[in-house]
Amino acid sequence: MKTTFKKALLSSSAASMMAFALSCGATNALTVGPDMVEEKRKASDFSEVQLKGPVDGYIKIGKKFSVTVKAPEDMQDKIITEVKGDKLIIKMKKGRYNWKEYKDVAVYVTMPSIDEYTASGSGDSHLSGKIKGKEFEVNLNGSGDITVETSSATELDVDLTGSGDLEIKGGKCTTISASLKGSGDISTKGVKCTKGSFSIMGSGDIDAYASNSAKSNIMGSGDVTIYGSPKEISSRTFGSGEVKTRK
């Protein structure tokens, strides 16, 4: 059962920030403008998130589960949030929508931990908080962007297909695997990893850190730039792409 709470606010952007901050512990959702409302959904016990479509996603690591959808009131029932197994799925009902009028539609998720995040489409995603554990997998398919503030998972698996950009700003790992197909870019150079395996098919670039060993395969014009001056480097290239090293 879904409940919508309304209250007029002067600024849509200020209201959005306030609503997300309160959503972690508040019991009421907030209205974010004359046409936009925030609706709190019932969802819990998930460790993976899959976002489909042009909706923006804001994922925060926190103590309690919380899912809030920000959208015009007449669009709320068209945005589906459901848990299947360990995965929270966010998607649109089938239909034709004029998304130019609803460019601020977003979903705010708080969860204790995350093992996998997947975004497909043109929506942008931002993940914040302490991501840790044995493995963290992040996948991007489409033209949207994903930004992850930090990851300290032992194994980091990154996959990008399309023209979007994927960045993990900081953290550490033992092993990183990054695969890129298309014109988008992957940047994980702020994540201090020991070993790395990198693959490019297309014109996109990968910037990553590996202090001990790095293996790269390039097919196309994309470049792999490896920071950390790894002791062992192996590479195969087909095309004009290059493997570069930086301290």
pTM for the structure as a whole: 0.85
Could you please state the CATH topology (level 3) that the domain comprising 130-247 is classified under.
Pectate Lyase C-like (2.160.20)
Q: Which of 147, 106, 98 is nearest to 123 (CA)?
A: 106
User: Is 50 exceeded by the pLDDT of residue 83?
Assistant: yes
- Share above pLDDT 70 across residues of the chain, in percent, rounded to a whole number: 84
Please tell me the predicted confidence (pLDDT) of residue 120: 97
Q: Do domains 1-113 and 130-247 have the same CATH topology?
A: yes
Please tell me the predicted confidence (pLDDT) of residue 142: 96
Identify the CATH class of 1-113. mainly beta
Range with the poorest average pLDDT among 13-22, 44-53, 114-123, 183-192: 13-22
Q: Which of 147, 153, 203 is nearest to 224 (CA)?
A: 203
Q: Which residue has the higher pLDDT, 190 or 33?
A: 190
Q: Which residue has the higher pLDDT, 7 or 238?
A: 238
Please tell me the predicted confidence (pLDDT) of residue 102: 61
Q: Please give the Cα distance from 189 to 131 (Å, whole number).
A: 17
* Pairing mode of beta strands 79-84, 87-92: antiparallel
Please tell me the predicted confidence (pLDDT) of residue 94: 85
Averaged pLDDT, 70-80: 92
Residues in the chain: 247
User: Is 60 exceeded by the pLDDT of residue 64?
Assistant: yes
Tokens of 229: 């001056």
Q: Please give the Cα distance from 120 to 140 (Å, whole number).
A: 6
User: Is 60 exceeded by the pLDDT of residue 213?
Assistant: yes
Range with the poorest average pLDDT among 9-18, 148-157, 214-223: 9-18
Q: Would you tell me how many other CB atoms lie within 10 Å of the CB of residue 246?
A: 11
Mean pLDDT score of the chain = 88
Please tell me the predicted confidence (pLDDT) of residue 101: 61
Each domain of the chain, given as residue ranges in start order, spans 1-113, 130-247
